[in-house]
A and B are shown apart, each in its own frame.
Chain A
Amino acid sequence: QVQLVQSGAEVKKPGASVKVSCKTSGYTFTNNWMHWVRQAPGQGLEWMGVINPSDGVTHYAQKLQGRVTMTRDTSTSTVYMDLSTLRSEDTAVYYCARDHSNDNTWWFDPWGQGTLVTVSS
């Protein structure tokens, strides 16, 4: 079955960077785009960006442009999300989610289990 397994929780100081991984299995890695979504404590879901594993093309949320970088490693079927210049507002659970689209609809299935990133001095 399709699985997205994310790396473990991180604690970072303000100004540092964090890199979260999402290892995929159970399907052809290059067939589906992969999105990253985050959720701050007690808040809603926030779309961060997407990467096409086939060619590495990315699209990022405007508010994160310049701080977020998404990459992929086709040899290990893994995608990565790097967020730099961390601030306390970046404390959140970060999810990867496999993209599907058809007939003017986009949806995620499945999601990774989530990675808690805590930014604290």
Chain B
Amino acid sequence: SSELTQDPAVSVALGQTVRITCQGDSLRSYYASWYQQKPGQAPVLVFYGKNNRPSGIPDRFSGSSSGNTGSLTITGAQAEDEADYYCYSRDTTGNQWVFGGGTKLTVL
């Protein structure tokens, strides 16, 4: 089965832009979806596919894809964006799906 690889931790200054990446062979065929998880809470969908943001998610969250890498960009990061972020996609080897290992975002 394939894997999705994320940087374990990323930091960004308040109001600056940060990109969280997700690498994996399956992303050459499929788009990722992205989830924000704060301590003690269930994950929340923040972006999915080529260009889809769920209602209620601020437009500072955007996504992109190139080759085997999917990216989630936060433009003008806010203190409330500090959380763990996970990518997710289907595996190319069959009816299996997989999460990235997660990225802990710190807003300085």
Contact of A106 among B37, B54, B88, B102 (CB under 8 A): B88
Contact of A50 among B1, B31, B88, B97 (CB under 8 A): B97
How far, in Å, is A113 (CB) from chain B's closest CB? 6
Q: How many residues of A contact B (CB 8 A)?
A: 23
Flag whether B24 is at the interface (Cβ < 8 A): no
Interface of A is mostly: strand
Instruction: For chain B, give the interface size range.
Output: 20 to 34
In the complex, what distance in Å separates the CA atom of A108 from the CA atom of B86? Answer: 12
How far, in Å, is A117 (CB) from chain B's closest CB? 15
How far, in Å, is B1 (CB) from chain A's closest CB? 7
**Residue positions of A touching B, CB distance < 8 A:** 35, 37, 44-47, 50, 59, 61-62, 95, 102-109, 111-114
**Residue positions of B touching A, CB distance < 8 A:** 1, 29-33, 35, 37, 42-45, 48-50, 52, 54, 84, 86, 88-90, 94-102
